[in-house]
Amino acid sequence: MPLLQRLSLRLRIFLFFALIALGSSALVIIDLYLALQRIGFDALPHLVLFGGLTCFGILFLTGWVWQKFDVNVANPIEMIVKDVRSLVHAGAGQGLDQETGKYLGFLNPAIREISEALVEARNETDRQIAVAVNNANKQKRRLESVLKDLSQGVLICNLDHKILLYNHRALEILHVSGDLGLGRSLFSVVSAAPFHHALERLTRRFSEGRHKRHKEGLGQLVICATADGRHTLQGRMSLLLNEQETSATGFMITFDNVTRQLAENVERDRLLHNALVNLRDPAANLQATAEMLTGDFHLDSQTRHALEQMIAREAAALAKRITALDDTAHAMLANAWPMSDVYSSSLFNSVLRRNSAESLKITCEFIGEPIWLHCDSVTIVELVEFVLRKVAETTGLKAFQLQATETGRKVYIDLHWHGDEVPSVAQINSWLDEPLDRDLGEITGRDVLDRHKTDFWCTRVPQGTIHLRLPLAPARDHHTDEAREETQILPERLEFYDFDLMERTNLGSLEDTPLRELDFVVFDTETTGLDPSGGDEIISIAGVRIVNGRILSGEFFDQYVYPGRTIPPATTKIHHITDAMVANAPRIDAVLPKFQSFVSDAVLVAHNAAFDMKFLSLKEESTGIKFTNPVLDTVLLAAHLQGQNASLTLDALAEQFGIEILPDMRHTALGDTMATAEVFLRLVDLLEASGITTLRQAVEAENKIAAIRRQQARY
Amino acid sequence: MAHSVLVVDDEPSMSFVLEHLMKAQGYHVMTAPDGSSALSSTQEHHPDLVLLDLSQDDRSAYETCQTIRATAQTSDTKIIMISARSREIEIEKGLALGADTYLTKPFALEAVVKAVDALLTEPGSKNTHDMAFG
């Protein structure tokens, strides 16, 4: 009965009553016809009259009952159905009024109760979702903060070796050898062979089920070199499984730069060996002399005196060698810390973030200049935060100052406060025996100090304040002001991970890959003029990556280029780049290889791409760098969507899409790149809405517009 | 009147040597085997100088040093810390907590004599670590 089911309830009931009325009338007519045959056709006029009246009566009665049924039952039921539907789908239902639903018995009140219960259940679910989302966000922030402060580098990759996550430390260790970025190949930064080998072993171990009893489970030690071969990395690769633990989805690597450590191990072995040899001699002499003196040898007084002199001499020699050993050993121990350089301001900020995370109302002012130091920032942050909390609890104070000072050999972290009583050594020792944080396991403050080969103490300083002084090692590497600026430029919340990449399979043919899944590098160049063939040159080039539909603002390329000629004042007026600004910049043949490495196999996007690509192609011969990547042009794509007559300048498109370009960033390569990237993402939305979802379709649309433009240019 | 020296040492042999060394220099010598008896002895007898050698228990050595320095009646007492712990951080902590001199083991007896003489005859010389003997 599919047709009937499609009809409304009221119509179906009407048809039902109509059927009864017509059926009954038909029966009456048949009965009268049969009666007519028995009693003869003389009775026809009477039978027609009675039959007519009866049929009319049946029709009228059925019609009346139907009308009552429709008003009081069918219509209210339909209203209730509509109401329940709107409640289920739109989350709001009115319920029937008492009058309309009075003949439905308990149905109407029951529906009302169900509505109320549903609304309440929905509200409760919403509340629980809000709490869960909040918790998830908290954990996410916590994870980000831990990853950020971790002293080891962390990378997570999918099975195609594409990077899904990296932390600050990984960036620090690996940026020396190439450009690390989300969605890019791991092997652009490290040598491939050790990882292929480890991954193969792990996947085999997993597929054969041996990982369950293997002492390393799904982990494996990996030692490899950075892509440029300058650094040695030691780490651990672990296989990551899907939720059902039935197949591998990727792998995680935690690693350290052990180049220096390896050299130090060699030096330590040498020291230990020499120490043993150097101490054996005087120790043997002392032992022999003492035995001679105390044994039963009947020595005369002259011999005894000579032996006593020898003991004094050998003891002095032993003491001297121990002292010499001491100095070397201490210098070496200080160097053996497997830690990293940290800027004191970021350390203090982490302390404060932990502090606010614990919702303590402690204020902490940072005084003095920030300094680079060498430590394991995760545990030092925990320790300083812990001690801050302890001092606050003991003294009842809420206001503190944190300062880092440098003496050349050491960096001091000083916590200052105004108070009456200096915490005693005994009290500090009792703090240090407590575990720091449940997330760090049973690690105590003493463990952290021992690991850093340091200690701390409290004293009253001449200015009347009390300070708690924690000495740490100074930075190992020379960090220039430039490096500081670089650290400050980095946005607080970089895009360090994108787990959606986990689902990606090998791209294979880019053409049929949905636009959303492609990696793009949006780029822009600033030049000395508009005539690449006439000798104009690139003076600035910038690019930014888009992965999984997100602009990775932390992964950008921005480089001035020395053009080997002067910049005409007319163009300087536009981009504000002067000869002085590019005087010390690298030449294009040094910049393009780096830019190509940054671009990798991404799709190139530019506003009026033909212009920029022309400049790049003219350099192919001299630099040997050829960009064969697919190219998309935001001008052509916008023309396809909005027509040739629309205003297609970057400013016009940005304004149309509500994208703000800061005035001082407009006509800088990086500023224009960022704006183009934003415009491009909006265009991708519109392209999808118009049915263009793959790279091939986008290129085809672009080519049509380009052909039309070429035609127009001809006339 | 001869200066008084309190020898605090938890090793009997070193205590024996230091006690006789100080006596040989003409000082009035008292001894204590641990931190708490050292504190009660300083409270009671107010020695001019404490030779503090608690190598077995460095926590107690730092605590004793800090307490002697922080107690009003004994805050002027000279303190020489003697320890086998020779890391720079340990020396710095000892000096920060109030020791006038920090001597690291092994040392020549002459070094102890010189350090004690220097502190008792030149009241201005505070907070030094004689690295020549360290």
Task: List the single residue in B with minimal CA-CA distance to A429.
Answer: B59
With bands split at pLDDT 50, 70 and 90, how would you rate the model's confidence at A480? low
The pLDDT of residue A626 is above 90: no
Task: Name chain B contacts of A318, Cβ cutoff 8 Å.
Answer: 106
Task: List the single residue in A with minimal CA-CA distance to B87.
Answer: A330
pLDDT digits (tens, 9 = 90+) for A411-440: 999 999 988 888 989 899 999 998 887 555
Task: Name chain B contacts of A471, Cβ cutoff 8 Å.
Answer: 89, 92
With bands split at pLDDT 50, 70 and 90, how would you rate the model's confidence at B130? very low
Q: Is A636 left (phi over 0), alpha (psi -120 to 50) or beta?
A: alpha
* Average pLDDT of the segment spanning A240-255: 89
Residue A566's Cβ-count burial label (10 Å; 0-12, 13-18, 19+) is exposed
DSSP A470-515: EEEEEPSS---HHHHHHHHHS-SS---B-GGGGG------GGGSBG
CA distance A425 to chain B (A): 5
CA distance B52 to chain A (A): 16
Task: Measure the N-to-C terminal CA separation of chain B; round to a whole number of Å.
Answer: 31
Task: Name chain B contacts of A469, Cβ cutoff 8 Å.
Answer: 96
Closest CA to B116 of B83, B80, B91, B92: B80
The residue type of B101 is: T
Angle made by CA atoms A78, A81, A82, in degrees to the nearest 5: 90
Angle made by CA atoms A103, A108, A111, in degrees to the nearest 5: 160
Closest CA to A501 of A183, A281, A195, A252: A183
Distance of alpha carbon A161 from alpha carbon A224, whole angstroms: 15
**Structure-block tokens of residue A399:** 């206001």
Task: Name chain B contacts of A425, Cβ cutoff 8 Å.
Answer: 59, 62-63, 66, 97
Of B63, B88, B106, the CB nearest to A322: B106
Distance of alpha carbon A409 from alpha carbon A474, whole angstroms: 7
Closest CA to A632 of A554, A696, A552: A696
* Average pLDDT of the segment spanning A313-334: 78
CA distance A380 to chain B (A): 17
Strand arrangement, sheet containing A603-606: A550-560, A538-547, A520-527, A603-606, A631-633
ipTM of the complex: 0.80
Task: Measure the N-to-C terminal CA separation of chain A; round to a whole number of Å.
Answer: 66
Task: Name chain A contacts of B96, Cβ cutoff 8 Å.
Answer: 457, 459, 469
Give this prediction's pTM.
0.47
CA distance B63 to chain A (A): 5
**Number of CB pairs < 8 Å for A and B?**
42
CA distance B83 to chain A (A): 13
The top-scoring range by mean pLDDT among A201-210, A348-357, A472-481, A639-648 is A201-210
Task: Name chain A contacts of B97, Cβ cutoff 8 Å.
Answer: 425, 457, 459
- For residues A679 and A654, the answer to whether their CB atoms sit within 8 Å is yes
Q: Which residues of B touch A (CB under 8 A)?
A: 59, 62-63, 66-67, 70, 86-90, 92-93, 96-97, 104, 106-108, 134
With bands split at pLDDT 50, 70 and 90, how would you rate the model's confidence at B25? very high
With bands split at pLDDT 50, 70 and 90, how would you rate the model's confidence at A496? low
Instruction: Identify the bridge partners of residue A558 per DSSP, sorted by sequence position.
Output: A542
Lowest mean pLDDT among A357-361, A366-370, A600-604, A653-657: A357-361
The three-class DSSP label of residue A254 is: strand
pLDDT digits (tens, 9 = 90+) for A78-98: 887 777 777 766 555 555 566
The residue type of A665 is: M
The pLDDT of residue B126 is above 50: no
Best of B54, B87, B102, B110 to disrupt the A interface (most A CBs within 10 Å) is: B87
CB contact under 8 A, A319 and B106: yes
Active site residue A667: yes
Sign of the torsion angle spanned by Cα atoms A265, A267, A269, A275 = negative
The pLDDT of residue A277 is above 80: no
- For residues B61 and B103, the answer to whether their CB atoms sit within 8 Å is no
Task: Name chain B contacts of A461, Cβ cutoff 8 Å.
Answer: none
CB contact under 8 A, A426 and B59: yes
CB contact under 8 A, A318 and B67: no
CB contact under 8 A, A323 and B134: yes
- For residues A454 and A446, the answer to whether their CB atoms sit within 8 Å is no
pLDDT digits (tens, 9 = 90+) for A522-553: 999 988 888 777 788 899 999 998 888 888 87
- CA B70 distance to own-chain centroid: 16
Best of A313, A318, A425 to disrupt the B interface (most B CBs within 10 Å) is: A425
The three-class DSSP label of residue B134 is: coil
